């Protein structure tokens, strides 16, 4: 146990630097993913068939392929095909955001469909157009029900950032790998990193529960 505390003390600045990139990618990809999820979620419940088809294809392709393949495709495949280079961090932002967006789409779709159709009819009877009815009546009610799956998805994305190490993003996992490649303390370093992930996700879940309680009151 003393060895673990000594390692944590000696490597703390490096680990916090890696955690910074883990949280940065998580925050950016989840914000963009929420926006994509809202857009494609609304397309899923649209009456226009073409919008449903586009959204369905997007969700099926992303959910049907591994995130690792998506990362490699964005970082290696697209630049080789288009001759447009990008940094590992930018590739990470793009791939993680697109991946998150597909799962957020399903959350929005399920949340919107869970609201009784009478709510839509009530909004329309008040003279509200479809867009305003969705904005002012349906979405506010649906969001309350979507918080638990939102939290689950965001925590998955935080953990999935560890895959960014394969394209060279110096996030928390890659930082730990670099450290134990030099000191040969793989067990101890991976234990420390696992505890850091656990603490971060626990804090996030705790804050989410507080927010959920406030919104339910």
Domain range enclosing 19: 2-216
pLDDT at 30: 95
pLDDT band at 47 (very low <50, low <70, confident <90, very high): confident
pLDDT at 50: 95
Distance (Å) of CA 77 to CA 27, 32, 64, 73, 203: 25, 22, 18, 4, 36
Of 106, 104, 110, 112, residue with least CA distance to 137:
112
pLDDT at 119 over 80: no
CATH of the domain at 105: 1.10.3720.10
Q: What is the pTM of this model?
A: 0.88
216 vs 66, more confident:
66
Percent of the chain whose predicted confidence (pLDDT) is above 70? 91
Domain count, the chain: 1
What are the tens digits of pLDDT across the range 121-172?
666 666 667 667 776 677 777 777 888 888 899 999 999 999 999 998 989 9
Mean pLDDT of 37-64: 93
Write the DSSP assignment of 103-136 as a string of letters: HHHHHHHHHHHTS-HHHHHHHHHTT--HHHHIII
At residue 4, the 3 state secondary structure works out as helix
């Amino acid at each position: 146990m003393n060895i673990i505390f000594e390692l944590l003390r000696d490597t703390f600045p490096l680990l916090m630097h890696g955690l910074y990139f883990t949280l940065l990618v998580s925050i950016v990809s989840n914000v963009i993913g929420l926006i994509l999820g809202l857009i494609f979620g609304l397309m899923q419940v649209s009456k226009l068939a073409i919008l449903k088809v586009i959204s369905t294809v997007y969700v099926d392709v992303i959910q049907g392929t591994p995130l690792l393949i998506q990362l490699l495709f964005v970082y290696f495949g697209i630049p080789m095909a288009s001759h447009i280079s990008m940094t590992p961090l930018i590739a990470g932002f793009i791939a993680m955001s697109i991946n998150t967006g597909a799962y957020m789409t399903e959350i929005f779709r399920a949340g919107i469909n869970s609201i009784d159709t009478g709510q839509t009819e009530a909004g329309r009877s008040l003279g509200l157009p479809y867009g305003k009815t969705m904005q002012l009546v349906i979405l506010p009610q649906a969001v309350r029900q979507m918080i638990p799956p939102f939290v689950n998805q965001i925590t998955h994305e935080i953990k999935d950032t560890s895959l960014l190490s394969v394209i060279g993003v110096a996030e928390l996992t890659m930082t730990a790998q670099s450290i134990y490649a030099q000191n040969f303390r793989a067990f101890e370093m991976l234990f420390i990193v696992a505890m850091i992930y656990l603490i971060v996700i626990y804090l996030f879940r705790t804050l989410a529960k507080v927010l959920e309680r406030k919104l339910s009151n």
